[in-house]
Structure 1
Amino acid sequence: MQVDKNLLEKYNIPVPRYTSYPPANHFTDDFKESEFKDLLVTSNTEEPHNIAFYIHIPFCAQICHYCGCNAIKMKRADEVKTYITALKKEIEMLVSEVDKGRKISQIHYGGGTPNAIKAHYLKEINDILFSHFQLIESPEIAIECNPAHLSYSYLDELFDAGFNRFSFGIQDFDECVLQDVNRRPSALPVGDLVKYVKAKNIKFAVNLDFIYGLPGQSVESFCESIQQAIEIKPDRLVTFSYAHVPWFKEHQKILDEKGLPSADDKLEMFLAAYDMLLKAGYISIGLDHYALPEDELCQALDKHQLHRNFQGYCTKRTTGQVYAVGVSSISQLSGGYVQNTKDIKPYIEAIEKGEFPVEKGILVSDEQKLIRMVINELMCNKYIQWQTIADEFAIGVDEVKKKVAYDENLLNQFKEDLLIEFSKDELSITELGTMFIRNIVASFDPALSGSKKRYSNSL
């Protein structure tokens, strides 16, 4: 894909990532535990009806300098045990409020490094969830893994615990790059790990995750990593743009000292990887995902049935309201978002007192739900039909457009730049427009106008 440099300069501005709406930096500190309990109760009668769980394991053997997640360096075994005990109690507190007639469609473990702890803890957590709820057919039970800490025996334990999707955080195959960002390479050949998973069950799925924009990377070196990934042939592959937010994650300042690739080089990494992956037969999904044609994500894309949450892209079939446990985890319910406290000590103290460890949150108004639906449809399916939105909220199309600050002059600018096609009835994002999807989506966010919130650049 060729991209005009003028377009890059025009659109490379700070905008939200829109993994939620309103974005997480709009959550407020005065959100009360009682409001969360009310949300839990009302979520039972709201859509989506399915249940998704997010489990946050914050522990890491070492902290990568690029990390923007809530992670802590693991020190003592008893610290892990105490945390997991509290996490299991939080699950029991939470599921007591959730209708047992609902089904689990998705479980996702993130971190931190979930596979940094002993696998029996993960099985114990899954067993609790499985004991309370039935599963939909072919649910997604996923775990993020650092391959530096993976062995075949550990994978066997994950299989036994019920996992069927494995995201390997490769980031880069170049060991010099990994050294610069304080990350260890895979303990075993990544291709062999993927083959081992597939040999266990052909329906098991593997993602390989990469980051572009790190110190030491060049267009050529990143392409070499992507070529290695293509030869391994995972079901899905992700190329995350490194989000440099040192005002939020102070340890990222180390990367300033090492030197980050230029904006032009970073874009070339993305474009080169994009062309390589499409040539290799992968389909581009949303902002940063790629999947093989037979993958369920591709089938969902064809039917405008993709969804996105804090854990990434999924299908509407596996979509559920997200009930999150563990430090800093964010529950994504129809009526609002609630984030747990970010520090382990107050988290455990709250749980031991029988209280939900709420730190912040936000209730979502009916108008924000409408805006959220517009943003989700564009971020995921690159297409929107205004009458569908109007029917969902039982209002007219003109009222929908008013609520999302529909600006035909701005849309005409996007169209002139070949980023979208639109009529009064629908709007679709072009292949080129996918590069600037956050900018396009931001045009339908009335709250962004005049906001003083800080975001990473769109490219």
Structure 2
Amino acid sequence: MIDKELIKKYEKALPRYTSYPPATSFHSGFTAYDYVNCIKESNKKQPQSISLYIHIPFCPRLCLYCGCTTHITRQRDLIDSYLDALKKEIRMVASQIDLSRPVTQIHWGGGTPNALSEKQIGEIMQLISSIFKIDPACETAIECNPAHLSLAYLDALFGMGFNRISLGIQDFDHKVLRAAHRELPAASIDALTEHIRSRSAGVNFDFIYGLPHQTVESFSATIRKALELKPDRLVTFSYAHVPWVKPHQSALEKEGLPGAGDKLGMFDAAYAIMMSSGEYDAIGLDHFSRKDDSLSIALRDGKLHRNFQGYCTRETTGQVYAFGMSAISQLYNCYAQNVKNVDEYISLINAGRYATEKGYILSREEMIIGEVISNLMCNDRLEWAEVAAHFDCTADNIKEVTGFSPDRMKDFVEDGLLEISEAGLKVTEPGRFIIRNIAAELDPNLNKDKKQFSKSI
């Protein structure tokens, strides 16, 4: 159970630290020229492996909880034009990459990637295979809406090399899905899961809590149903209600949204159910993986990592080259994000220009801070010597750059949330719920950033 008194004590607005610095730091002073230079420089840097991200922004229908960068359309001409531009961008970026480097991760996100036809996805996968050197162990994943998924479609994906399917279930209760304007699954989740597993592919389940008609009891039932199907990985996302940013979300208020206490209860219950099963490890706050899954193994070995596509292992992740509208590349020392408008993206690429809108080049100090925070957030521990070896410096250098001070960590230690030794830091089980607060104490730049962030818990 989550200690509510600790929540009151530590809850405050902080970065999510899914990247460092946070995406709020990206700026338009970073140009396409900078991006090309960073791509060329990335060929000489570690990791040498390549991760590819393909962003498909299109959805046939708007889910009212959506906070993603999407484009609602069924216009085939527009989609075809976008895909043509996507292929051109892949060729443009690939021309700057050392193609002897292996691709160890391919991820399709959206939007609704499986709203495309098998032929459309197949053409892009064929292009990737013809250009890049694909590692035999490459993890090739795609996010799928069950409303547009059949067993035959899955077979087509497997034929293209996909070996991990992420099902955006959100909730098993159809009343919740209808209230959120989410289309119902075309085939049963049981049948889809069984078929994916029969092809020796990985299966992920994604859920959202905090939607209309959800209660602690109903969401607990959804998680128990998921446990019966034994997915390899499971995620419980907290619904972020920001109608001032996403006006369509205001429609959910008419159905009635759960209060903060109920949302916390859903999170608490889901966490307890998953952990008491004895079959899963907690990855971060809201991810879970089976104990024999590569993420759990990486966690035990202290080699868990995270990029903009989610949690991964040090072995599978590479420098991320992202394609499509709003896509974010994550290279050795920079981030680069494309424009967020479909028509503008198509126009720029067709003119032979990169679609970069903004980005960020990290200083050496920021790279060190990012590595420290990533290690802590992913692996629940931090070893000074390990990070120092990575940057060819001393442990004292790392402490100095991050502004580490045992005095600033005193409350965490006294509350049983953190253990400090000469070797480094170790987050305890209760401490995992306030890990963003701990990470913030290793971010000397936090107070310099006037951006607004979500609550830490």
Which bin holds the TM-score, normalised by the shorter protein? over 0.9
Q: Distance in 2 between matches of 1:126 and 1:354?
A: 22
Give 3-state SS (helix, strand or coil) of 1:231's partner.
helix
**How far apart are 1:68 and its partner, in Å?**
1.3
What letter corresponds to residue 61 of structure 1 in structure 2? Answer: P
Equivalent residue, structure 1, for 2:117 = 118
Aligned 1:321-360 pairs, distance under 5 A = 321-360=319-358
- Which one of the candidate residues 386, 392, 397 is aligned to 2:395? 397
Q: What code does the residue aligned with 2:215 have? A: S
Q: Paired residue for 1:63?
A: 62
Deviations 1:168-208 (A, max 9, x none): 00111111111221112211110110101112x22x10000
State how far apart, in whole Å, the 2-side matches of 1:352 and 1:137 are.
33
TM-score, normalized by length of structure 1? 0.97
Tell me the distance in 1 between the aligned counterparts of 2:243 and 2:417: 31
Moved more, 283-292 or 109-118: 283-292
Counterpart residue number, 2:228: 231
* Whole-Å separation in 1 of the counterparts to 2:219 and 2:203: 20
Give the alignment of 1:231-380 within 5 angstroms.
Answer: 231-280=228-277, 281-380=279-378
Matches of 1:47 and 1:315 in 2, distance apart?
15
Whether contact under 8 Å (1:222, 1:269) holds in the other structure is yes
Residues 1:14 and 2:13 are matched in the alignment: yes
Pairwise CA distance, 1:424: 3.1
Contact 1:442 1:448 in 2 (8 A): yes
In structure 1, what residue type is equivalent to 2:361?
A: L
The structure 1 segments of at least 4 consecutive aligned residues displaced by more than 6 Å after TM superposition are none
Shift of 1:247: 3.5
Distance 1:364 1:450 in 2: 15
Contact 1:287 1:379 (C-alpha < 8 Å) held by counterparts: no
Aligned to 1:45: 44
Q: What percentage of residue pairs aligned between the two structures are identical?
A: 48
- Does residue 35 (structure 1) correspond to residue 34 (structure 2)? The answer is yes
- Stretches of structure 1 that go unaligned for 5 or more consecutive residues are none
After alignment, is 298-307 or 245-254 more displaced?
Answer: 245-254
Letter paired with 2:422: K
Q: What one-letter code is carried by the residue in structure 2 that aligns with 1:100?
A: L
How far has the Cα of 1:287 moved from its partner?
A: 2.4
Deviation of residue 430 (structure 1)?
1.1
1: CA distance, partners of 2:13 / 2:210: 16
Measured in 2, the distance between the counterparts of 1:257 and 1:105 equals 45
Q: What is the rounded CA distance, in whole Å, between the counterparts of 1:12 and 1:244 in structure 2?
A: 18
SS at match of 1:138: strand
Q: 2:203 aligns with which of 201, 206, 230?
A: 206
SS at match of 2:30: coil
Which one of the candidate residues 443, 452, 455 is aligned to 2:453? Answer: 455
> Kindly tell me: are residues 264 and 410 of structure 1, through their superposed partners in 2, closer, same or farther at Cα, counting changes over 3 Å?
farther
How many angstroms does 1:12 deviate by? Answer: 2.2
Distance verdict in 2 for CA 1:452–1:254, change over 3 Å: farther
Separation in structure 2 between the aligned mates of residue 432 and residue 255 of structure 1, nearest angstrom: 33
Q: Residue 426 of structure 1: which of 424, 427, 440 is its match?
A: 424
Match of 2:382 in 1: 384
Offset of 1:119 from its aligned partner?
1.7
Aligned counterparts, 1:29-178, within 5 A: 29-178=28-177
Q: Calculate the aligned-residue CA RMSD, in Å.
A: 1.3
Q: 1:449 aligns to what SS in structure 2?
A: helix
Q: How many residues align?
A: 456
Match of residue 221, structure 1, among 205, 214, 218: 218
- Offset, 1:409: 2.0
Distance change >3 Å, CA 229–CA 53, structure 1 → 2: same
Letter in 1 for 2:170: Q
Q: What amino acid sits opposite 1:105 in the alignment? A: T
Aligned partner letter, 1:274 = Y
Q: For 2:89 and 2:98, how far apart are their aligned partners in 1?
A: 16
1:245 alignment partner, SS class: coil
Q: Secondary structure at the match of 1:446?
A: coil
CA-to-aligned-CA distance 1:100-126 (integer Å, 9 cap, x gap): 110000000000000011121111111
SS for the counterpart of 2:376 is helix
Q: Does 2:189 match 1:182?
A: no
SS of corresponding position for 1:270: helix
1:225 maps to a residue whose letter is T
Ranges in structure 2 where 5+ consecutive residues have no aligned partner: none
Task: State the shift of 1:231 in Å.
Answer: 0.7
Is the CA contact 1:173–1:185 (under 8 Å) kept in the aligned structure 2?
no
**Quick one: distance in 2 between partners of 1:330 and 1:56?**
9
Work out whether residues 370 and 393 of structure 1, in 8 Å CA contact, stay in contact via their aligned partners in 2: yes
Deviation of 1:418 after TM superposition, in Å, equals 1.5
CA drift of 1:407 comes to 2.9
Q: CA deviation at 1:257?
A: 4.3
* Whole-angstrom distance in 2 between the partners of 1:450 and 1:364: 15
1:199-224 per-residue CA deviation (whole Å, 9 max, x = no partner) reads 2x22x100000111222211101001
In 2, distance between residues paired with 1:195 and 1:270? Answer: 27
